[in-house]
Chain A
Amino acid sequence: MTIRSKEAQETRQLVEMSWDPITRIIGNLGIYTKIDFNNKEVVECKSTSSLFRGYSVFMRGKDPRDSHFITSRICGICGDNHATCSVYAQNMAYGVKTPPLGEWIINLGEAAEYMFDHTLFQDNLVFVDYCEQIVKETNPTLLRRAETTEAPHGGVHGYRTIADIMRAFNPFTGAMYREALQVSRITREMFCLMEGRHVHPSTLYPGGVGTVATPQLFTDYLSRLLRVLDFVKKVVPVNDDLFDFFYEALPGYEEVGRRRTMLGCWGSFQDPAVVDYDYRNMGEWGRGMFVTPGIVLDGELRTTSLVDINLGMRILLGSSYYDDWVNEEVFVTHDPLGNPVDRRHPWNQTTLPKPQKRDLADGNYSWVMSPRWYDDRTGDHLALDTGGGALARLWTTALAGIVDTGAVRATGHSVEINLPKSAALPEMRFEWKIPKWSNTIERNRARIYFVAYSAAMAFHFLDQAMAEVRASRTQVFADFDVPDDAIGCGFHEAVRGVLSHHMVIRDGKIANYHPYPPTPWNASPRDIYGTPGPYEDAVQGMHIFEENGPEKFKGIDIMRTVRSFDPCLPCGVHMYLGDGKVLKQVHSPTLGTSVSG
């Protein structure tokens, strides 16, 4: 829904335009802007969410062993990332370590999830903004040029011109659009083989998995992986051709969605050889992950230590509908290494919702809080973004230069991805190079490279898992006791970026639980210091390339920018309890009944 109203401010003619809700994403995100059409510039942007859920409120008092099942329901698209992250946090709290084969199974499941979700979002949702139909409506001259521009990698993917690529992504009719739907089905099957059910895993537990590891399990996964490999090999050059064309045909397009490079990645794919889930060793085993955790500041790697990342987390208010928790209980004063833990850290947060009227002028306007990372060198509270997930993952991994499995190698300035021979195409190597900008196009480009990254990694994980099976080491779970008092934290990468779960256990029950998924970071509103959140920051000051004037304005550049972050609002805020609330206890019938609903 687009709403327009005019107001004269200073000497500029500003038009207020808002999109609320934004479509093709999950949840309820509103973008409110003021646009100067004479100078083709977005002058102000505010992002709001009208959705409150309250996971951190109702998790208290529950059995900690249920937390991965409950928090998985935060999201209907990356629920398994929550389950996995919760399992990591529980492993730390219970002092249990998943056996190697169990760890490889989780990695294989998560690799399939990245492939599934990135493919679906990129090719079926993001590319609608770049398809022939939309470009025809927003930038007709660009389409005319695309018709006559040869695609540099046409020999690999089979599309002669850039306009052919744009047509291939037309919704429901385009060839790539339809093939991507098939691929997302196969990758989802791969996920189900490993974690039992998509998107709320049924075989994932603290201490291991319930998946029975047989040679057939891995063969079934491998045969599907090989089926999607041809698609992956085609789609990466398709993306490169299209995005390079945008840079070339629209000079200055690199400024769209550009913001200071402040990327956070919390790491993914545990290495069972090093991970012991002990907080005291978290720096070392964090760096052993097959996607290196880290924070990139202005192109430099600020840290790769999960301990530093953990201690720097601050949850700020400022424009959110909550009361401050300064007078509430402090649960964790020091971490297991003796470092002081801030009152604004998720371990010490108490969620105190305070519903109110939205005030976009100078009041509170969102249910999303403002997570920031405190840089103790400068004293800044940094509004990190995730670059839609993939950009931060590739960037930190490339700069750290640690990952080297043969299938994937980080070089310090790039990531090499090697894919084996598949049905139609030979062995191929892709190299993702650190881009010059953290902008809309590079967020989107990184996403498709990360599909290739996950596919290559999945081959490595399969090799490792089969080696375990051939050596008869079939153990996939370990037993544990739930302590009366413990703390735990899990760090993982949801498909669209950083994910952390912080848990405090008292009397064997959850005393405090705070999940921090990527969208609170990306969609955060202005904090107490006035720092805008990443969406706001990326859209504010942006030049408009759309050819339509105010009357037919679609806001395509703004939409491309917001969608490049892969917004997913159900996790943005953590129960609506209105007048119509009905509480029921329902018994779910099992097989053999004919009761519907």
Chain B
Amino acid sequence: MTGTIKVGRPDARPDMTAHLKGVHEGNAVGNYEQQPGHLPDGRSTAARSTGINPKDRDPIDPAMPNLSPA
């Protein structure tokens, strides 16, 4: 019953999409640091774009912004 409306028997629980305890959550604190190429200070390296020789694709001068492609 929803208010005074009669509804049929549900074949899905409303909390079906809710999170199951014990399963890995992508948003969990600590996951940012585990992402390849994402540095703790908010910068990023070529490793965020490629896993193939990423260091060769970083800028030749460390003072340059590191702008890896999408």
Write the residues of chain A forming the contact surface with B, with a CB cutoff of 8 angstroms: 54, 57-58, 60-63, 65-66, 99, 205-207, 212, 214-217, 322-323, 351-355, 469-475, 477-482, 508-509, 577, 581, 583, 585
- Does the CB pair A322–B42 fall under 8 Å? no
8 new A-B contacts at CB < 8 Å, known A54-B2, A323-B3, A480-B29:
A65-B27, A352-B3, A353-B4, A475-B43, A475-B44, A479-B32, A481-B29, A508-B18
**B51-70 CB contacts (< 8 Å) to partner A:** 65-70
Contact among A61, A352, A482, A581 with B14 in the assembled complex (CB-CB below 8 Å): A61
Known contacts A472-B43, A473-B42, A474-B43: does B19 contact A63 (CB below 8 Å)? yes
- Does the CB pair A581–B8 fall under 8 Å? yes
Contact among B3, B17, B32 with A66 in the assembled complex (CB-CB below 8 Å): B17
Q: Chain A residues with Cβ under 8 A from B8's Cβ? A: 577, 581, 583
- Does the CB pair B70–A217 fall under 8 Å? yes
- Does the CB pair B27–A474 fall under 8 Å? no
Majority-rule SS of A interface residues: loop
- A415 CA / B2 CA spacing, docked (Å): 47
Q: Does B13 contact A (CB under 8 A)?
A: yes
B19, B28, B42 — which one has the most chain A CB atoms within 10 A of its CB? B42
From A482, which residue of chain B is reached at the shortest CB distance? B19
Nearest-CB distance from A55 to chain B (Å)?
A: 12
- Does the CB pair A214–B70 fall under 8 Å? yes
- Does the CB pair A62–B14 fall under 8 Å? yes
- A355 CA / B66 CA spacing, docked (Å): 60
Q: Mark B22-54, 1 if CB is under 8 A from A, else 0.
A: 000101111110000010001110000000000
Q: Chain A residues with Cβ under 8 A from B70's Cβ? A: 212, 214, 216-217
From A64, which residue of chain B is reached at the shortest CB distance? B18
Known contacts A63-B17, A509-B18: does B67 contact A323 (CB below 8 Å)? no
- Does the CB pair B42–A474 fall under 8 Å? yes
Q: Chain B residues with Cβ under 8 A from A577's Cβ? A: 5, 7-8
- Does the CB pair A479–B17 fall under 8 Å? no
From B6, which residue of chain A is reached at the shortest CB distance? A577
A–B pairs, 7, beta carbons within 8 Å: A62-B17, A63-B17, A207-B27, A469-B67, A472-B43, A481-B27, A509-B18
Q: Chain B residues with Cβ under 8 A from A60's Cβ? A: 14
- Does the CB pair B14–A508 fall under 8 Å? no
